[in-house]
């Protein structure tokens, strides 16, 4: 298995390792995954830990279980719904999706965005792209970056050539250049597709979209990216674990 992220439980680490193996096609369709007993013995885990990891993958639609036969990879044509519950999930977009540049990275300015990015100057960078899974479009994203951040990316063909496709993520590029992203603040709303969004996503005008705004913050507490995305809802899944408050209800 891969090294754990800080605070990552053992079952989530196993689920992440299996998820990445599935997305990288290391398990063939119709081939059963290793059994609970095999995984437990291989990684020195309890059967309960392995079972929880499998249940997480089942809930995402990546695998299905057949009593008495085992756990199998869901066929690609019927399984795709993107799951996001961590920054790592977003970085894993490099495994099986492509970024297609619509409006290349260029200088711009927006006063409201500047306030959210905590900028003092009047310059920033913007790029518009859409993401595809095996040629199927599932979202568009506009990324806005502080000038000091965007200037480190403004010569990359992956971002400055319209129509260019690649497997990159912006947050992955930022981390490769020394940024350390600690968290993302996310706001989710529903919107009706505009004519432009419908054209880019291949849906009808007025169709429902999930509008996701994520503000990425580095380990120093400084915003380094604002990503504004519109997802086709059939390809998006967000998982959130809710806890109890500090006191019981009377």
> Is 69 a residue whose pLDDT tops 50?
yes
Residue carrying the six token digits 């299996």 = 18
Q: Are 226 and 215 in contact (CB under 8 A)?
A: yes
Same domain, 105 and 63: no
> Is 55 a residue whose pLDDT tops 90?
no
- Domain of 37 in residue numbering reads as 10-79
Same domain, 57 and 98: no
pLDDT digit string (tens) for 151-190?
999 999 999 999 999 988 898 899 888 888 888 898 999 9
Domain count, the chain: 2
CA 45 to chain centroid, in Å, comes to 27
Same domain, 112 and 232: yes
Same domain, 48 and 103: no
155 or 20, higher pLDDT: 155
pTM, two decimals, is 0.67
Which residues, in sequence order, are CB contacts of 100 under 8 Å at separation 6+? 129, 130, 131, 132, 163, 164, 165
Same domain, 106 and 166: yes
pLDDT digit string (tens) for 239-250?
656 666 554 444
């Amino acid at each position: 298995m891969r090294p754990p992220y800080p605070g990552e439980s053992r079952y989530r680490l196993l689920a992440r390792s299996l998820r990445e193996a599935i997305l990288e096609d290391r398990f063939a369709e119709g081939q059963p995954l290793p059994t609970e007993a095999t995984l437990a013995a291989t990684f020195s885990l309890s059967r309960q830990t392995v079972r929880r990891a499998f249940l997480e993958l089942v809930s995402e639609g990546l695998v299905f279980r057949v009593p008495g036969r085992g756990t199998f990879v869901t066929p690609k044509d019927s399984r795709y719904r993107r799951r996001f519950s961590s920054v790592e999930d977003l970085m894993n977009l490099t495994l099986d999706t492509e970024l297609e540049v619509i409006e290349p990275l260029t200088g711009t300015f927006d006063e409201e965005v500047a306030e959210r990015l905590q900028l003092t100057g009047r310059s920033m960078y913007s790029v518009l792209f859409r993401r595809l899974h095996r040629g199927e479009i599932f979202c568009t994203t506009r990324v806005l970056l502080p000038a000091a951040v965007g200037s480190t990316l403004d010569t990359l063909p992956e971002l400055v050539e319209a129509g260019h496709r690649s497997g990159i993520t912006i947050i992955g590029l930022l981390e490769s250049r020394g940024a350390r992203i600690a968290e993302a603040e996310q706001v989710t709303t529903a919107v009706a597709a505009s004519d432009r969004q419908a054209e880019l996503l291949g849906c009808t005008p007025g169709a429902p979209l999930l509008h996701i705004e994520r503000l990425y913050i580095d380990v120093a507490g400084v915003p380094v990216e604002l990503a504004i995305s519109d997802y086709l809802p059939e390809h998006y899944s967000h998982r959130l674990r809710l806890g109890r408050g500090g006191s019981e209800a009377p």
